[in-house]
Homo-oligomer: A and B are copies of this chain.
């Protein structure tokens, strides 16, 4: 039913942001991101899809030019990556969906219910301290504060956004998305190792974990490392280490809680100066919202006790996927003569943000080799990549035609 065009395109997009370490860095609004979104428009137009771009830089590719106020089936994923990330995260769903929608249009003509592929501008939060800005904008969940955020070298989110959307307007019209979303379907790599362990090639996602991400700051007083006596020092690094030790100990005892301190920035970050400020990020996830809330409370108590401050930069509730769509995915898997699983997702996804705005949503997962993701080693067997696209395309056909 589908040729290997998907695999060819995935390899081409891997080159757009390929790093010397073999990973891909394509952060929102960077030079590679703009190249990739433009290439996406080209692919969609070649299938006769109607493209437009919203004010965040998200690209839509629909089977009809007249979807204003219509109810459409939306399918896609995000174009951005983490820093030195893998070659499949996000882009696999982006390309699979535009190919599926385009090929259905070519083969069967206009569907009864319009189909719309989407390439969200940003999901990972790897450049600015915010996540899911593409899908949050679409579903009216974006707070104004996002536009003032700065990246690590001081560039302001909103200035970059305007500049890049203007560039995209050279290849596609800018429009406010005013269609209704009947359902949202996202194909993605698992990023964990459960499918590999169970020797299964595909899964439907039942739930997505809740996630809280905090930026925690300890403060101190900078001074010379050699001349300042130990007694009376106010060392932001020592305070951060104390804080982190307590977090590892406290959350480490909570069953099923996954937590990560992935980022740390010290100021001024010089070997012979006592740090005056240390910022750390803490990412906490759990499938049960109550347990996640408990974990968060524990962290706040520790933060208060050591005199640190925090800001909640991501806060997504544990989210069940739509039951009826889950059943339809299972049907499509069966029709493709594959054996499927039911899994929860430990990663956050645009599908979660969209489901949280009461839109029926579902995800399809394919295996990740060795469960590796967000790293250059991220990979999936070619047959699994294609099987995922087969299932997506069949599902879209069953829902729309």
Query: Copies per complex?
Result: 2
Q: How far apart are the CA atoms of A124 and B225 in the complex, in Å? A: 12
Contacts of A241 in B (CB 8 A): 241, 244-245, 248, 261
* A368–B223 CA distance with the chains assembled, in angstroms: 12
Contact A226 B126 (CB under 8 A): no
A236 to B213, CA, bound (A): 19
A 210-238 to B, binary, CB cutoff 8 A, 1 in contact else 0? 01010000000011111111100001011
Query: Quick check: A271 and B266 within 8 Å, CB to CB?
Result: no
Q: Assess whether A391 is interfacial by the CB under 8 Å rule.
A: no
- CA A258 to CA B225, docked complex, whole Å: 7
Q: Say which one of A52-60, A157-165, A273-281 lies at the interface with B.
A: A273-281
Residues of B within 8 A of A245 (CB): 241-242, 245
Within the complex, the shortest CB–CB distance from A339 to chain B, in Å, comes to 21
Chain A 318-350, CB within 8 Å of chain B: the 1/0 string? 000000000000000000000000000111100
Closest beta carbon of chain B to A348's beta carbon, Å: 7
Q: Mark A123-163, 1 if CB is under 8 A from B, else 0.
A: 01110010000000000000000000000000000000000
Which B residues touch A238, using CB under 8 A?
248, 261
A129 CA to B222 CA in the complex, in Å? 20
Known: A225-B260, A260-B225. A271 touches B125 (CB 8 A): yes
Write the nearest CB–CB distance from A377 to chain B, whole angstroms.
9
Any B CB within 8 A of the CB of A272: yes
Q: Which residues of B contact A276 (CB under 8 A)?
A: 375
**A355: min CB distance to chain B, Å:** 16
Interchain CB contact under 8 A, A272 and B125: yes
- Asked if A191 and B226 sit within 8 Å, CB to CB, the answer is yes
Query: A306 to B191, alpha carbons, bound, how many Å?
Result: 29
Q: How far is the CA of A275 from the CA of B82 in the complex (A)?
A: 13
- Contacting pair A371 B227 (CB below 8 A): yes
Asked if residues A262 and B258 are in contact (CB atoms below 8 Å), the reply is no
Q: Is B273 touching A258 in the complex (CB atoms < 8 A)? A: no
- Over the window 247-277 of chain A, the binary record of Cβ atoms lying under 8 Å from chain B Cβ atoms (1 yes, 0 no) is 0100010000111111111101111111110
Q: Whole-angstrom distance between the alpha carbons of A272 and B191 in the complex? A: 12
**A226 near B125 (CB under 8 angstroms)?**
no
The answer to whether A226 and B285 have CB atoms under 8 Å apart is yes
Give A244's nearest chain B residue, CB to CB: B241
CB interface residues, A 359-374, toward B, < 8 Å: 368, 371-374
Kindly state whether residue A84 has any CB partner on chain B within 8 Å.
yes
A192–B228 contact, CB under 8 A? Answer: yes
Which one, B83, B125, B224, contacts A191 given CB within 8 A? Answer: B224
- Cα distance, A347 to B345, chains bound together (Å): 53
Q: Which residue of B lies closest to A376 (CB)?
A: B222
Contact A283/B271 with A238-B248, A258-B225, A374-B224 known, Cβ cut-off 8 Å: yes
Shortest Cβ-Cβ A-B pairs, 9 listed: A192-B227, A225-B260, A271-B281, A227-B346, A226-B347, A191-B227, A224-B373, A226-B346, A224-B374
A-to-B contact residues, CB < 8 Å: 82-85, 124-126, 129, 190-192, 209, 211, 213, 222-230, 235, 237-238, 241-242, 244-245, 248, 252, 257-266, 268-276, 278, 281, 283, 285, 313, 345-348, 368, 371-375
